[in-house]
Amino acid sequence: MIPARFVLLAAIALGHAAASAATAPKTTEPSADQRAFAAEVAKEGGPSAESVLTTLAGAKVQQSILDAIARPAEKTREWKDYRPIFVTDKRVADGVEFYRANRALLDRIGGEYGVPPEIIVAIIGVETGYGRNTGKYRVLDALSTLAFNYPPRAKFFRGELKQLFLLGDKHLAYPIDELKGSYAGAMGWGQFMPTSIAKWAKDEDGDGRIDLWNSLPDICASVANYFAEHGWQTGQPVTVRAQPAGDAEPLSPENSEPSYTLQQLEAWGYAPVERVDAATPSTLLKLQGELGPEFWLTFKNFYVITRYNKSPMYAMAVWQLSQAIASGSAEAAAP
């Protein structure tokens, strides 16, 4: 016969075990998609499949990320509502201050890459408010949420997540699970996606790594190099306002890629308000402004801005902000 005290101790032990089992964190087995993804990363020279799965196990699905990507500002606002978000007196003043504080660096990089310094400043201003808001989400959470839980663009974000694992120490100044960025996984002051970091980010300060959070030379040179590599044409126009004739030919281009000569657009009734070579490749952009429709003739450099973000409203906001910064900087520099 077992003594009663041993029965009681056994019951207590079993109770503790059951309680521990109930409160212990549940481990979730990786999905078939995650296993295939991890094997793909390992096959392409990244960390082992086991290491990738361990990292993914620490990622959290964020519903707020799925909500945010379903309603980007470019798709829910007209230009008259979109412009006031990015082209504000404060953003212009902060841009002028940023340019003045870093003029030597920006002018040198602008000259090296053939990209106007005010464009570099405007991109940083639009993307992160000159580095003040680089994103609150863990990049790992953002990319894994979208790669495995957002079917409309799963292929794209799976590719970005794979590139994140492939970047290595030179391209990532910090551990993967510590990186913070946007809901889409964009990082640093210029909001580079992992593939953009791999292709176009620069180690401008020469310290052997690319730091898009704390190295201004790396940040500014990476933005400039992005524009240069996408075909920025030094000294060429970006966009000019058009004055449509009363009988102008209806025209709705599919994108911002220059598809016509300026001469052709003029023949269709869209005359530029500034002088531009008639042979310049261009296209037409119509925006809904505060005072009604606005017509713009846009050129290759405008198209290059849309390679950073494909929205023509984004490109126009960057351009107008850059011009305001350039004007303010010139006034500040005047004796």
Terminal Cα distance for the chain, rounded: 103
> Of these residues, 29, 74, 78, 127, which one is catalytic?
127
Q: Distance of CA 124 to CAs 100, 101, 106, 259, 321, Å?
A: 15, 14, 12, 29, 11
Q: Which residues of 69-82 are buried (b: 16+ CB within 10 A; e: fewer)?
A: beeeeeeeeebeeb
CA angle 39, 135, 42 (to 5 degrees): 10
Cα 331 to Cα 335: distance, rounded to the nearest angstrom: 9
What are the backbone angles phi and psi of residue 326, rounded to the nearest 5°? Answer: -60, -45
Residues shown for the chain: 335
* Residue 127 annotated as catalytic: yes
What is the four-CA torsion angle of 153, 65, 225, 43, rounded to 10 degrees?
-60
Q: Distance of CA 21 to CAs 9, 14, 16, 17, Å?
A: 18, 10, 9, 6
Which one, of 316, 266, 268, 309, lies nearest residue 289 by Cα? 316
Query: Tokens for 116?
Result: 């106007």
Q: What is the DSSP letter of 200?
A: H
Identify whether the C-beta of residue 249 lies closer than 8 Å to the C-beta of residue 149.
Answer: no
Query: Can you list the alpha helix ranges (DSSP code H) found in the chain?
Result: 4-23, 32-43, 49-57, 63-69, 73-76, 79-86, 89-101, 103-113, 117-128, 139-149, 154-166, 168-171, 194-200, 216-229, 262-267, 300-308, 312-333
Among all residues, which ones are annotated catalytic?
127
